[in-house]
Amino acid sequence: MSTLEKLKQSVARQEAIQQSENWKTYQAMLRRIVDDVDIKPKELTDTLAAVGRSLADIDKDVENVKGRNAIRKRMADAVAAKEKLVAAQRELEAIKTEKQKFVDEINPRIDSASASVTQLTAIVNMGSQGKIELRETCLDPGLQAEREAVDREIHSQVTREAELQRFHPSQRGTDFGHMLNEVQKPLAVLRARREEIDLLRENQ
C-alpha cells in the first residue's frame, strides 16, 4: 500500500472518529432539549453545522431520541419484569404443588362422605317406605273402613273443586269464591284426618 493510500485511510478514520464524536455531542444536546434544558443559540448552530444538520431536522431528531428513550425504558422494564417473572413462576409452582397435596388429601374424604350420603339416603328412603308398609299391613278394620270413607269423601270434594275450576273467569259469579271455599275448607279437614288415621295405623 502506498504512502498516499495509507494517508487517505488514516484521514478517513480520523474523520469517522470526529463525525462520531460530533454526533455524540449532538445527541447529548438533543437529550437536553428533551429534558427542557436551555440551549444557547450559538451552541445549537455550531453543533448542527458539525453534524451537517439544520433547524428543519431538530423536530424529527428530538422525536427519535424520545423513541429511543422509550425503547430503553421498555428494555429496563423487561429486565425488572424478568426477575419478578422468575419469582412468580416459582410461586405458581409452589401453589400448584400445594393444590395437588390438598386434592390428594381431600378426594378420599369426598369419596367417603359421598358414600356415607348414599348409604344414609338409602336408610332414610327405606324408613319412608316403612311408613307406607306399616299403614298397608295394619289389620284394624275400623281404621281401614274410616280411611276408605275419608278417601271417598276427599275424591268427591276434589271432583267438585275441579268442576268449579273449569268455569271460565267470565262465567264465575260473585259467589264463586264462597263456593270454592266451601269445597276447599272440608278438603283440608279431611286430609288432616287422613294423616291422623295413617299415624294410628303406623303405631298399631
List the domain boundaries for the chain.
3-80, 140-204
Report residue 36's pLDDT band, with 50, 70 and 90 as the boundaries.
confident
Q: Is the pLDDT of residue 60 over 90?
A: yes
The Cα–Cα gap between 111 and 188 comes to 44
Q: What is the pLDDT of residue 174?
A: 65
**DSSP reduced 3-state for 102:** helix
Percent composition of the chain: helix, strand, coil (DSSP 3-state, to 5): 90, 0, 10
Contact, 156 vs 120, CB < 8 A? Answer: no
Distances (CA, A) of 159 to 128, 156, 167, 187: 29, 5, 13, 11
Contact, 193 vs 149, CB < 8 A? Answer: no
The Cα–Cα gap between 115 and 111 comes to 6
Q: What is the pLDDT of residue 171?
A: 59
pTM of the shown model: 0.43
Q: What is the pLDDT of residue 94?
A: 93
Report residue 169's pLDDT band, with 50, 70 and 90 as the boundaries.
low
Average pLDDT (98-125) is 88
User: How does pLDDT run across 65-103, given as a tens digit for each residue?
Assistant: 999 989 999 998 998 898 889 889 999 999 999 999 899
Report residue 32's pLDDT band, with 50, 70 and 90 as the boundaries.
very high
